[in-house]
Amino acid sequence: MTKQIVFYDELQTPLGPLTLTATPDDILRIDFGSFSKNEQKIKNYLSKAKLLNDLQNKIINHQIKDELTAYFNKTLTTFTVPNILFGTDFQKDVWRALMNIPYGETVTYKKVAMMINRPKAVRAVGGALNKNPFSIVLPCHRVIGSDGSLTGFGGGIDRKEQLLIFEQKN
């Protein structure tokens, strides 16, 4: 494992707290909910990423935090893509494809599969979205079922709906 200290912080938003996890150099995760709710998921992620999971509570000063604040203040519609993505090549392809979904719009899981040239991998796309380490920044909330339904979302369907309404109003 890489000997690196990892910090966590919480950002209060209109949808409740977001837990941010970062190294001194870069952001690693953004999760809906408090740190105590996300602690085990974060530790599992750090273990898979082969990072020392010695977590310390510290205020994180990273541009993503500023961008999330601007997003909720309705002054930002696109985010800086995180530098570090830990996952399979397939997951990374899916997560990068999310950045091509315009603010305020939605696409289907099938469309995302087509965006990564894997049109039959619809279910796998859903699995990759479920592992998205950057809530809101990699906008998996913009992916919906082929019938228009709001299916699966790690932050809860109610938050998915709130995010979509928020973006459509702005």
What are the residue ranges spanned by the domains of the chain?
6-72, 89-169
Position 164 pLDDT exceeds 60? yes
- DSSP-derived secondary structure letter, 141: G
pLDDT tens-digit map of 98-147: 999 999 999 999 999 999 999 999 999 999 999 999 999 999 999 999 99
Give domain 6-72's CATH architecture. Answer: 2-Layer Sandwich (3.30)
CA pair distance 133, 136, nearest whole angstrom = 10
Note the Cα 74 to chain centre separation in Å: 19
Q: Which residues are catalytic?
A: 140
- Asked whether the domain spanning 89-169 has the same topology as the one spanning 6-72, the reply is no
What secondary structure letter does DSSP report for 147? T
pLDDT of 1 above 80: no
Q: Would the pLDDT of 49 be above 90?
A: no
CATH 1.10.10.10 fits 89-169, yes or no: yes
